[in-house]
Amino acid sequence: MRPVLAVVGSLNMDFVVTVSRLPAPGETVLGSGFQMIPGGKGANQACAAARLGGAAMTVRMAGRVGYDVFADHLKASLSAAGVDVSAVHATKAQPTGVALIWVDRTGQNSIVVASGANHELLPADVGALRPVFRDARFVLFQLETPLATVRGALEAARQEGAQTILDPAPAQRLPAEFLRLADILTPNETEALILLGRPPARVPATEAPGLARALRELGAARVVLKLGDQGCFCDDGARQLHVPAFPVEVRDSTAAGDIFNAGLAVALAEERPIEDALRFASAAAAISVTRLGAQASVPARAEVEAFLQTAG
Ligand code: RIB
């Protein structure tokens, strides 16, 4: 049977403007280009899982969109990547989610999300998600849909026998029960610090073991810290593993974390060892940051394999 991955989360149309530098509060800057690119953390993870998993993987997406042209476009983009979108339902209550994104010339971005229909994925919908979770090896979650829904769906996914991967993004404090429901927790530095009640900051890779241990003590079974250009650090209690980042020229880091999570899920669903899974995920994310946009930057599996061969 083909391995199954499921994603519960957001779908947004990203409005992307490239700028020479990010605007300060109250400032107007002139942008140099504008594109509408399919995004949303959930949809990005689903799109990337399908492209990285290839024909051998079944990927299902569950979420909410509005009745508008963005919804059609977002669903078509996922379908084209090979994602089963039959659990992406439309609501009349809100328009499809959008994100306004500025990307500067160093590849840094600022993102504001108007969640819209994503906030209409309600706890009452969790029961209907069970068939989506059935037979799934992993179910991927993020935090752009209501927290109560995420919590219920995490529980339901585990009851259906799947392992859960929780991306605690956008950064926020979470009740400990969320971390206990995560088989794999994948924060970046900011998200990790905020989960631990500390102010956001850049942390040296040497601090990663302490952060990962603290998060495991809060309940996460396995922690994979995403450290940007410092690579990633995995701690499952028995083993700690640091995988350095691949050096690349950064054009736009939007969705790199989403693509990392998809790569990790794909490789683990294929029962590859964790070292390989982390390298595969890092390579997929590294390729993505050399390109503009969220789903537009997702590499195909063959590209990641070629990249890894060249990297040695
Ligand atoms: O993680 C990147 C994503 O965050 C963007 O695609 C945007 O839609 C926001 O959800």
- Give long-range contacts, CB 8 A cutoff, 24+ apart: 239-246: 239/274, 240/209, 240/212, 241/274, 241/275, 241/278, 242/205, 242/208, 243/275, 243/278, 243/279, 243/282, 245/282, 245/286, 246/282, 246/283, 246/286, 246/307, 246/311
Atom 2 of ligand 1, residue of closest alpha carbon: 255
Atom 1 of ligand 1, residue of closest alpha carbon: 255
Tell me: pLDDT of 29 over 90: yes
**What confidence tens digit (pLDDT) does each residue in 130-189 have?**
999 999 999 999 999 999 999 999 999 999 999 999 999 999 999 999 999 999 999 999
Task: For residues 28 and 288, give the distance between their C-alpha atoms in angstroms, rounded to a whole number.
Answer: 29
Residue 7 makes CB contacts below 8 A (sequence gap 6+) with 42, 43, 45, 46, 49, 59, 60, 61, 62, 139, 140, 141
Give the residue from 211, 235, 220, 129 showing the smallest Cα distance to 175. 220
Separation in Å, CA 166 to CA 13, 191, 237, 251: 22, 12, 17, 26
**Dist. CA 238 → ligand 1 center (Å):** 33
Give the pLDDT band of residue 119 (cuts 50, 70, 90): very high
Give the residue from 261, 310, 278, 282 showing the smallest Cα distance to 138. 261
Task: Please work out whether the CB of residue 38 comes within 6 Å of at least one atom of ligand 1.
Answer: no
Q: What is the pLDDT of residue 110?
A: 94
Centre a 10 Å sphere on the Cβ of residue 36 and count the other Cβ atoms it contains. Answer: 13
Atom 9 of ligand 1, residue of closest alpha carbon: 40
**Dist. CA 10 → ligand 1 center (Å):** 9
Tell me: pLDDT of 1 over 80: no
Task: Please work out whether the CB of residue 97 comes within 6 Å of at least one atom of ligand 1.
Answer: no
Question: Would residue 258 show up in a list of annotated catalytic residues for this protein?
Answer: yes
In three-state secondary structure terms, 244 is coil
Tell me: pLDDT of 312 over 90: no
Cis peptide before 38 (omega within 30 of 0): no
**What confidence tens digit (pLDDT) does each residue in 217-229 have?**
999 999 999 999 9
End-to-end CA distance of the chain: 32
The sheet with strand 184-185 has its strands ordered as 83-90, 58-65, 4-8, 136-141, 163-166, 184-185, 222-226, 232-235, 240-243
**Average pLDDT for 252-260:** 97
Q: What is the pLDDT of residue 81?
A: 98
**What confidence tens digit (pLDDT) does each residue in 37-95 have?**
999 999 999 999 999 999 999 999 999 999 999 999 999 999 999 999 999 999 999 99
